[in-house]
Amino acid sequence: MQTLLQDLKYGWRILQRNPGFATVAVLTLAIGIGANAAIFSVVHTVLLRPLPYADANRLVIIWDTDANRKLARGIVSPAEFLDWRDMNHVFDSLAGMRPSYVTLTGEGVPEQTLGVHTAGNLFRLLGLRPILGRDFLPEEEKPGHEQVAMLSYAIWQRRYGGDIGVIGRSIVIDYKPYTVIGVLPRDFSLFGTSAAFDVWVPFAFDRAQLNREDHELVVFGRLKEGVQLAGAQAEMEAIIAALKKQYPQVDQKNGILVEGFQTYLTHNIRPALLVFFAAVVFVLLIACANVPI
């Protein structure tokens, strides 16, 4: 400590005797440190900060893969999804969703917007609660009971004026009547993009009419407490192998990928951000090395 204090006093005397040197040194270090602070804040926000969901580290997304078609992240058939949900022992829950454009008619001007058909438990899987009304019920995933809808905060404000009386109101989606049961939180965006989904309705799963080759779902899972990604991957590979034997007529070359949800959201920009961060650290080292002595 005594040596450090002596060095600081010595450095302060040098700076006082040579203000030009002090200015150059401070500016050089400020540029390097400022650049590092700025890029680290971006890295933290994008790569390190947990997603805004309960126990977000347990959230995964599950893909079909096919090396022969160079398919690394393929969507899943509803029949596959139901089998996975019944056969697995590593997830607290699985939920599938199918995005599409929908048309709202009835009140006001007809409007085309992004919508989702979803398994009824998706929001419970995420640990997300509506700010108004309720979530989907399990029975609303059954054919004949799926005519209910949840709205995004944005469309609730834009089209329905933020009226709390929208709960229980009948709206028309793709020319079919639905009853509004809930409104989602203002800051909810499933994939963290500005292209939010405005209308959510249950996917009615009818096993008797499902085609195993009709791939249309993105599948999410929540790992059980204590289950690691590698363990989930191993079990899902075993399930895929069993299903191939049970259904020899389906694709025998496809595989499966269990991927952390946050890893998926950042996989396109992670390499570039890390390279950029390393470059900025290198710039700081150069700045330190070039401070006049």
Instruction: Give the residue from 258, 277, 260 showing the smallest Cα distance to 45.
Output: 277
For range 243-272, the mean pLDDT:
82
E-strand stretches of the chain: 59-66, 71-74, 91-105, 111-118, 132-133, 148-151, 170-173, 176-183, 199-202, 218-223, 255-260
Instruction: Give the residue from 228, 293, 280 showing the smallest Cα distance to 90.
Output: 228
- The pLDDT confidence band at residue 166, using thresholds 50, 70 and 90, is very high
Residue 232 has pLDDT above 90, yes or no: yes
With a CB cutoff of 8 Å and minimum separation 6, the contacts of 93 are 121, 124, 125, 221, 222
- Three-state DSSP class for residue 281: helix
Please state, rounded to an integer, the average pLDDT across all residues of the chain: 83
- The pLDDT confidence band at residue 280, using thresholds 50, 70 and 90, is low
Q: Taking the alpha carbons of 50, 52, 56, 59 in that order, is the dihedral positive or negative? A: negative
Residue 253 has pLDDT above 90, yes or no: no
pLDDT at 44: 47
Instruction: Give the residue from 259, 227, 222 showing the smallest Cα distance to 124.
Output: 222
pTM score: 0.77
Task: Give bridge partners of residue 170 from the DSSP assignment.
Answer: 179
